[in-house]
Amino acid sequence: MSLLRLRAALLGPARLRGAGIPWSVLRNYSSASAKEKARRNAICERTELLEVLKARVKQLQASNVPEVTVNKVELAPLGNDKYQDPLRKVVAPGAAEEQPAPRGRDESPARPSSWVEKLKKEMYIRQLKVERKLSIAASQLAREGQAKAKPKAKAKPKAKAKPKAKAKAKAKAKKSQKSLKSPKAPKAKVAAAWSQSHAGPHGVYACRKPRVAAVKEGAKAQWPRRVLEHKDSSQYKILQQTIQSSLECFLFLQQPEEAERFLLLYHSSPVKRRLLSVNAYNIVMRSWARKGCLQRINQLFSMLESVGLRPSLDSYAAALECMGRNQSSTKAVWRCVQQLKNDGFHVDELFQKCLFEEDEKEKVLRAIRIVQPNYELPPPPKPQTCKSSLLQDFYSKEKMVPYPKLDFTVQELQERFQQQLEMELENTVTIESVESTKPLTPQAIKARKLLATLRSQWHDSILQALQKSKHSMSKLKTVSGYNILYPYLCLMPDEEYVGIMLQILNALSPQGESLAVLARELGSKIYNRYITQRKLRSRQLEKVQEVYEEYIHLLAKDRQPDKYLPREYWEKLVAEAGFGPSLNLKDCSWPYMLLMRLGMHMLELLVQAVKVPRNILNPHLEPRFIPVLYHVYSFHSSWQVGLIKPHPIFSQIVSDAAETLLTFNSSAIPMLCPPVPWTSPHFGAFVLNDTKLMRFVDGAVQHQLLLEQCPPVNLHPVLDALNQLGNCAWKINQPVLDIIISIFNDKGNEKLDIPPPISEAPRPPAAPSNSSTCNKSQKHELLLCKKKTAEMHSLRMDALYKLSIANYVRDKVFWFPHNMDFRGRTYPCPPYFNHLGNDVTRAILLFAEGKPLGPKGLDWLKIHLINLTGLKKKNALQERLEYANEIMEEILDSADHPLTGRKWWMNTDEPWQALACCMEIAKASRSPDPAAYISHFPVHQDGSCNGLQHYAALGRDLIGAMSVNLMPCSVPQDVYSAVAQQVEEFRKKDAEQGVKIAQVLQGFVSRKVVKQTVMTVVYGVTRYGGRLQMEKRLKEIDEFPEEYLWEASHYLVKQVFNGIKEMFSATRDIQNWLTESAKLIAQSGRTVEWVTPLGLPIVQPYYRSRSTVLNCSMQNLSVKTSNGNQKPDTVKQKNAFPPNFIHSLDSTHMMLTALHCLRQGLTFVSVHDCYWTHALTVDVMNQPPLPTLARYLPCPSPLTCLG
């Protein structure tokens, strides 16, 4: 929470608010008078207006700068007349264009296709002549389009000759091009507009904005050429991905003609065709195959041959699919099959390696059976078994045990699956806020009616603007700024797009939101809807339903136990299904810059279309329409950031309406059925929502490529561990939830980590009549008030969302599907409410499955309670148990009278979890037989400074190992107390020598003060960061003199670092070794990569970022992109390697423990190094950690752990 508060104070609610979080849930329920509210609102509005005006002044001052030269900045324009072909300036003059296109790394020269040649000879000679003439006409039209699309930006006279020379060279090359063209080539004007408006995310352009007015000529000419020459570079692959995603749109829209025209405009250029891979041609082949047009597919095969590309299995699959639809002659099918074999493929590979949609697989099989009537589908490949030495026993068939059952029947699980499917098909979920119990005033009723009327009008306005925009795009015959976006605006009904834009409008806070954040959110929402529609269209959902209905037999209690893991059982069922579409869709992801471009267009439509009458709240004002949304600028450090802010009239109406409904994406809600098991990096978790196995920053592709290159069998342990975590069923602790909601609605309680409403924020100082008389202290006080208000807003929203979702599922059983970050650390997919949350969230979660306490269960509950208090850290477990028995009266009082009793639970480290544990102990101890009491309560076993444990094990540091409980000891060791004790000894010595700050700190050095710094020092925290942590802890002590905060924190962090260095002799040496190794690797031009002991490949995604400027009519967006073709960021690579490496080992150990618990039939979940299970099974869970840790650290050198 402290981190969240810090971010709120520094960034404010507009930056901290998560994607899709509506602000409208924020209510003011204080008892302040209406006049007082009005006074405070007026002060805040004047302050806000002043900030906006200041930002505008700075913006205008920046606009007066005549010209700024920017080196190596890529511009991807987005204006109506500013789009250009990303490769237009790449064309080299003269003979360079006539050289054959170089082949890719995995491409071989195409051998003559005999069956294609024979089919070509059967074509009419007249048709060939017509096609040649039309090809020449298309080239002339393309040249005319390019001439009209030349940039009009001002340039030096000397620079004008180059583009002309390039254009002439390009025209000459096009004139000599003789490849086959489509018979519908006269429509090439539209195709030319499609292609030339296709600005890739890394194109280089002249820009008209003042800050990027000039770009060095070298950067203009050299970078695209370099991209085309390096086919393995990330930029090259992103450009290919952009082309293929547009072709996929045409395939989805069932427009093969448009797809072919788009392809031809790249194919006809000797330079641009280098961006076309076999996959691009295959997409167009699939479009024609669905129409049954074999002649067009034959032409595409010829085009492949003409550019030196070899047909792939997908190429032959498309041809055979078409033949299967047409019931082609035996001779034609035989030729195709023979050529497939001549190219080194086998017919069986079509069904083993190709991905199919709809009925494609059946059509290919029908074509094969024309020439081989008795052909049967090849048997599924034999399942591979992981050979890791760490998991020999786990994957041993002899030691296999039945998979644990859930407490549900097949019928119950089928009903839950249908509920989850309906929720995901709706895409969004609307739930009641926990604030909904507030009385509805007449003012709120009136505001809600007004808001409903306005939203209806806005719906029509946005719909009209969208249709107008699409109409103008479809009619454009020259290069257009938004032409490339047209197919992406046709993927769904217009109403869907309007609904998405209205969701964004309803979620916008009064403080506004960053333009980039809104654009990304809009683009992502459209992409997710598109993926859902693709899964429906391809009949993939039908296949998932069929398989899932059989899969739940493994989990249901009314079916026989089976010795399969969830992943193995799912793969078995898919193999048995045989026919139908593939469960993995062909890769159709959209590049990040395309998402941003699409989102910006939608945002511009929203800003232009949504208006409100100026006099809607004040009839005395002029009756004219004004925009609801405004584009303003703010400054973060030295950066000028564009914001979209709502008009105060709109904010006032929404505030008065006091709406209590919250809308979430369906992926933000816990699942209502067991997750789909992870079987590959592309498939698992939700039923429909697209989820990646590994989380990564926007635009990064390195992790996904690494996972795809990894042998599937190597990922089995990681997938099985994630499936084990996701299959844990949960329910809500309703009594605790009700208490928390009651305090939440009663102005909160900061001590109990329940944020108060904004009405309790400190009052801003009264503004003087003359603003010029404001002194520095008043401005500073106003700034502090605004920061505090922003912090309270963010914390209040965070709590509201968690509690509202918990209240929504209070009577349900639910599941958290899991994925991981690039280091292998696991996280629940639903972002707001999960067991990784704070004390409040964890306290309201229970295991859905109950188990009897057994003979030691009640003792473990009591020990767990004492652990939550933060007391007795250095005492043996038996002593903690005895202490719990001594305070049983306090425990029972807390359980029976949590808000009216002695409130012992409120003074613990984790008060809400302590209260929940008190209630569980009270129920168990009062039951007739405590050992038979069915408990759903999770008991935690937390690691002792887990990072130091790994360093001590790596360095064989005996003293350090004893401090973190890696060595047998009579009593548990507490490293935080040990460090605090050592720091206190240093302080005493300095105090005796007369050091002033050491004397001031007397009585203030405690375990709590040093804990965070000790915990994070092994994860790379610097002295600067450690000082800030210390300062924050000292601020929490009311008695500590504020004037000594800086000096005291500086002194303490120095002593903590010295203490750790003495206690853990090998830790710093290993950290330095890892840091130096990473530095040398990065300086050699390579990123740091390694493989975890479980076989998970890891790459550090830190590169020198490149700024890509997205040019649009509203403003230029500077988007930082990083990819594998750029140099690694040496500083980040070396500083991040030690903590990332330790995190990966930590994750490995957790996954091994999860798999061990799976074999033992235990319920197991983790919060990184904190493991949860039932009280009955704590002793069983505690068995594996030390032996397993020793098994994957067999050598004293950490070098052996690097893959």
Known catalytic residues? 942, 1011, 1169
3-state secondary structure 516-583: HHHHHHHHHHHHHHHHHHHHHHCCHHHHHHHHHHHHHHHHCCCCCCCCCCHHHHHHHHHHHHCCCCCC
DSSP string, 166-229: HHHHHHHHHHH------TTGGGHHHHHHHHHT---TT------SGGG-EE-HHHHHHHHHHHHH
Q: Is 306 exposed, middle or buried (0-12, 13-18, 19+ CB in 10 A)?
A: middle
- The answer to whether 115 touches 328, Cβ cutoff 8 Å, is no
Quote the radius of gyration of the chain (alpha carbons, Å): 33
> Three-class SS of residue 729?
strand
> Three-class SS of residue 1097?
strand
| Cα gap 976→964, rounded to integer Å | 9
- The answer to whether 527 touches 596, Cβ cutoff 8 Å, is no
| Cα gap 395→544, rounded to integer Å | 26
Residue partners of 1087: CB distance under 8 A and separation at least 6:
702, 1081, 1099, 1100, 1101, 1102, 1103, 1124, 1128, 1133
Least Cα distance to 1110 among 589, 274, 484 occurs for 484
Going from the C-alpha of 70 to that of each of 211, 220, 430, the distances in angstroms are 8, 12, 47
Q: Which helix (H) or strand (E) holds 1132?
A: helix 1130-1159
Residue with tokens 């990646």: 692
Joined together, the tokens standing for residue 1020 give: 């790379």
Joined together, the tokens standing for residue 635 give: 């400054």
Looking at the DSSP bridge assignments, the partners of residue 1103 are 1128
Looking at 809-910, list the stretches that DSSP marks H as alpha helix, in order from N- to C-terminal side: 839-843, 854-869, 877-886, 888-896
- Helix/strand/coil percentages in the chain, nearest 5: 55, 10, 35
C-alpha dihedral sign at 851, 855, 858, 861: negative
Q: Which helix (H) or strand (E) holds 1099?
A: strand 1097-1099
Least Cα distance to 908 among 854, 872, 932, 958 occurs for 872
- The answer to whether 426 touches 532, Cβ cutoff 8 Å, is no
Looking at the DSSP bridge assignments, the partners of residue 1121 are 1106
Q: Which helix (H) or strand (E) holds 1147?
A: helix 1130-1159
Q: Which helix (H) or strand (E) holds 846?
A: strand 845-847
| Cα gap 552→543, rounded to integer Å | 15
Joined together, the tokens standing for residue 701 give: 């592709």
Backbone φ/ψ region at 591: left (φ over 0), alpha (ψ -120 to 50), beta: beta
Looking at the DSSP bridge assignments, the partners of residue 428 are 665
The strand order across the sheet containing 814-815 reads 814-815, 729-732, 845-847
| Cα gap 879→866, rounded to integer Å | 10
